[in-house]
């Protein structure tokens, strides 16, 4: 998998922009606020995911413009392909090989990428929502249908929560609660089974990466943490049964609280260093190592499962890593296509012309060096 060309119009701070990267390491350097992260974001959107910066679609249209477009030429599945994103009226529309898609999420599994940005530095420290988002995003690229199940679950959960709030004032609605319980139990059971399956395959790869980063001094494990589901069960039917029982047991509490207290929206990814919580007791250096190991594990599992090497996007994170972690990261991405943003060219990169290209991003187009 590689990106051969990216171009966009009226996107973020640019009226028009294009770039033709090499198949190896592409360093995008320049002063702050010239659009380095915007460039990586435009390519990341072509994976079918939302902005890794948490931006809405409307915020990505250049000020004063009615719409924005992104075009990406890429090589995947043994052939050259192209996709296009159009952002208008606050929504994204996607086209793959000139065929309109129902949703941008249908690009999941077509353009493969892994993003590592400063926002991910909080993945260990923050609450479980960040880690659920990490797991769900990674699964979508391997199993695109997971996105639809997750969307349907969120929609059904919102309907059930609304019903829980209405029942105290309209008791005749109580009989409909069982219908929604069965619906979200089925959807939630499939989500839980998918997360268990993914995390069980991710854990040894993450552990291997962390072992190398720590020079064998520490051991990192990751596991699915849930008060609803069996943490080692990959059977959707069994997970559905467990969720259904929990919903029945907690119905009184849910009615009193006005929301659903259990389910995949409450689960977590448990990260431990030598058997101790990385979130609670890990140092800043250990937490950076955990995140790096998670991202390398995500990339390795994606390549192993899909049979394509994903593109790696490193947005201004090299400065967050010490020299040892930088070397380890670049060594493991030796044969990958990589995009790195930085204020200045980085030292220690391979200088082979066919594997390295440096772009200086200024107010106009990107100027390639060498």
Q: Residue 293: inside a domain, yes or no?
A: no
Q: Does pLDDT of 87 surpass 90?
A: yes
pLDDT at 262: 95
Q: Does the residue 269 lie in any domain? A: yes
User: Does 144 share its domain with 270?
Assistant: yes
Rounded to 5 degrees, what are φ and ψ at 13? -100, 10
Reported confidence tier of residue 335, pLDDT bands at 50, 70, 90? confident
Alpha carbon distance 325, 319 (integer Å)? 10
**DSSP strand pairing (311-315 vs 338-342):** parallel
pTM of this structure: 0.90
Q: Does residue 90 share a domain with residue 9? A: yes
Answer whether residue 104 shows pLDDT above 70.
yes
Query: Residue 118 falls within a domain, yes or no?
Result: no
Is there a single domain that holds both residue 131 and residue 157? yes
Residue 46's CATH number: 3.40.50.300
**What average pLDDT does this structure show over 5-18?**
94
Domain edge (last residue) among 238, 263, 284: 284
Can you tell me which residue has the tokens 């919903």? 247
d(CA 349, CA 25): 8
Which domain does 177 fall in, by range?
124-284
What is the count of structural domains for the chain? 2
Does residue 131 sit in the same domain as residue 198? yes
The CATH number of the domain where 160 resides is what?
1.20.1050.90
Coil/strand/helix, residue 189:
helix
The percentage of the chain sitting over the pLDDT mark of 90, rounded to a whole number, equals 79
């Amino acid at each position: 998998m590689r990106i051969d060309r990216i171009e966009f119009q009226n996107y973020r701070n640019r009226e028009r922009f294009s770039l033709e990267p090499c198949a190896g390491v592409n360093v995008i350097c320049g002063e702050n606020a010239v659009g380095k992260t915007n460039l990586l974001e435009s390519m990341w959107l072509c994976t079918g995911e939302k902005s890794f910066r948490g931006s809405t679609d409307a915020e990505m249209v250049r000020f004063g413009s009615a719409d924005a477009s992104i075009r990406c030429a890429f090589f995947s599945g043994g052939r050259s392909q192209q996709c296009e994103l159009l952002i208008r009226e606050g929504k994204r529309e996607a086209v793959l090989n000139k065929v309109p898609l129902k949703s941008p999420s249908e690009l999941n599994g077509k353009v493969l990428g892994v993003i590592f940005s400063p926002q991910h530095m909080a993945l260990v420290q923050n609450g479980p929502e960040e880690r659920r988002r990490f797991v769900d995003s990674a699964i979508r690229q391997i199993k695109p249908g997971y996105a639809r199940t997750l969307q349907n679950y969120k929609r059904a959960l919102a309907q059930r929560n609304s019903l829980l709030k209405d029942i105290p004032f309209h008791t005749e609605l109580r009989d409909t609660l069982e219908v929604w319980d069965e619906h979200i139990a089925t959807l939630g059971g499939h989500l839980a089974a998918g997360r268990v399956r993914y995390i069980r395959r991710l854990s040894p790869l993450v552990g291997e990466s962390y072992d190398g980063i720590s020079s064998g001094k520490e051991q990192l494990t990751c596991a699915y943490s849930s008060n609803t589901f069996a943490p080692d069960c990959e059977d959707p039917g069994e997970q559905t049964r467990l969720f259904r029982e929990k919903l029945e047991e907690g119905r009184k509490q849910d009615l009193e609280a006005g929301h659903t207290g259990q389910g995949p929206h409450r689960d977590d990814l448990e990260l431990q260093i030598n058997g101790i919580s990385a979130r609670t007791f890990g140092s800043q250096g250990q937490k950076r190592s955990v995140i790096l190991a998670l991202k390398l594990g995500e990339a390795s599992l994606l390549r192993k499962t899909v049979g394509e090497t994903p593109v790696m996007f490193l947005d201004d994170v090299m400065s967050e890593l010490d020299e040892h972690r930088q070397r380890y990261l670049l060594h493991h991405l030796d044969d990958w296509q990589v995009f790195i943003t930085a204020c200045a060219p980085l030292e220690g990169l391979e200088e082979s012309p066919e594997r390295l290209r440096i772009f200086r991003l200024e107010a106009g187009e990107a100027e390639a060096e060498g």
